[in-house]
Structure 1
């Protein structure tokens, strides 16, 4: 299910920020997608050192991200006072044309409506 389907219920303002991020990133609008991150935000994802600060996060998305195109299918979004948890899958294509498919979980931490920390986990055989 994608973010436009009725079965994904986005209930609060933080969930809306996160849902807008996925719509923007899938639409290849990096400016809009990255607008939610604080200047000192931290983003952690498997296979990389932590991206610390907006500039490091932006550099990753503009220069290092292996994904060319794709779509996040969100299964659930859970929000509390200052955090959002997301479970879903991603299908797309890398810059070299290879197909990509992975299940993921994202944990977003906020200050107000601004992302200060994001942690991504992939469902892949590792141990």
Structure 2
């Protein structure tokens, strides 16, 4: 079995009835926290910052080493469109571990900085999924020699 990536989801979805106030009951897929995390990486890797930001609740918190705390979709959008030093690249997810609304991810990133230099690193992310399936928290950690 291959490790899940942003383009090869590990989770499957099931259909559930959702009430429609203007008509009959409509069925649609259930989005799991793991599905939401995989969607996040697909958005980031494809450069779709608007779709990525829409996955976060208005009061969501994003913590990343070396940057101030970012709040809500606007904070995430600002980071990914203005501050992020990475121009492009892709995530390879080696482990995606879900426990209810909490998801931990371990993987590698390979890409190019805005300077043109290559960037290759290992990372871990934590995602907290809150109301309506939106992220309430994300924390990023990098494996780098600091001590």
3-state SS in 1 of match to 2:80? helix
Q: May I ask how many residue pairs the two structures share in their alignment? A: 125
Match of 2:107 in 1: 88
TM-score scaled by length of structure 1:
0.91
Question: Residue 63 of structure 1 corresponds to which residue in structure 2?
Answer: 82
Greater Rg over alpha carbons, structure: 2
The CA RMSD measured in Å over matched residues stands at 1.5
**TM-score of the pair, normalised by structure 2:** 0.79
Distance 2:47 2:78 in 1: 15
Q: CA deviation at 1:125?
A: 0.5
1:3 counterpart residue number: 6
Partner of 2:38: 19
Bigger Cα displacement from structure 2, 69-78 vs 47-56: 47-56
Separation in 1 of the partners of 2:138 and 2:69?
10
Change (3 A) 1:105 1:30: same
Shift of 1:82: 1.3
| Deviations 1:48-68 (CA, angstroms, capped at 9, x unpaired) | 121123322211111101111
In the alignment, what sits opposite 2:141?
121
Alpha-carbon distance in structure 2 between the residues aligned to 1:73 and 1:54: 24
Partner of 2:23: none
Q: Equivalent residue of 1:33, what SS?
A: helix
Equivalent pair of 1:41/1:117 in contact (CA under 8 Å): yes
CA distance, structure 1, for counterparts of residue 111 and residue 78 of structure 2: 21
